[in-house]
Amino acid sequence: MKPLTIGELSRQAGVKVPTIRYYEEIGLLPPPDRSGSNRRCYGGDTVRRLRFVRHARELGFDIPSIRELLSLETEPQASCHVADSIALRHLAAVGRRIDQLIALQAELRRMVSECGHGRVAECRVIEIVGNHDLCLSGTH
């Protein structure tokens, strides 16, 4: 297979060039080979790895978790307990975030429903946004 340029890697993996450079900088991607003119050259494994990272980010995994998941690939016969633990930890965080968003949605609905839709001087939305003590929930 012909080595890929960073632009071709970007197209094949669906990741922008600056993101590829960032992932190299933080070690999610190995340093690429260099051509005689010092241009980055990538192999097919980098496309697969970059797609893995992109999909993990789309699923909301943080960088340390992705790094840990990638490190598990070096031992394909090992137990996937660590991967399960990472996913369960992320699932719990997503659940907490959903709870926060539901509370936020309820607070915003209340603010809008209490607004008389008159002048700004009497606007309940402006009043509540300006005074956190008027919120029903202390989580925002």
Among 126, 96, 124, 91, which Cα is nearest to 110's? 124
What mean pLDDT do residues 59-75 have?
Answer: 94
Token pair for residue 122? Answer: 């009497």
Residue 79 has pLDDT above 70, yes or no: yes
Q: What is the pLDDT of residues 88-131, one digit of tens each?
A: 999 999 999 999 999 999 988 988 888 777 787 778 888 888 88
Specify whether 51 is located in the same domain as 7.
Answer: yes
Whether residue 74 lies inside any domain: the answer is no
| Residue positions counted in the chain | 140
Query: How many domains are there within the chain?
Result: 2
Segments in the chain forming alpha helices (H): 6-13, 17-25, 44-58, 63-72, 81-114, 124-130
- Furthest-apart CA pair in the chain: how many Å? 70
Among 102, 107, 101, which Cα is nearest to 137's? 107
Give residue 11's identity as a one-letter amino acid code.
R
Specify whether 8 is located in the same domain as 40.
Answer: yes
What mean pLDDT do residues 58-87 have?
Answer: 94
Whether residue 103 lies inside any domain: the answer is yes
pTM of the model: 0.79
Whether residue 40 lies inside any domain: the answer is yes
At CA 84, angle to CA 79 and CA 89, rounded to 5? 145
Q: Which one-letter DSSP state was computed for residue 33?
A: E
Q: What is the pLDDT of residues 21-47, one digit of tens each?
A: 999 999 999 999 888 888 889 988 999
Specify whether 129 is located in the same domain as 84.
Answer: yes
Token pair for residue 99? Answer: 């709870």
Q: What is the pLDDT of residue 140?
A: 54
Domain span holding position 44:
1-61
SS3 at position 120: helix
18: domain CATH number is 1.10.1660.10
Q: What is the pLDDT of residue 132?
A: 82
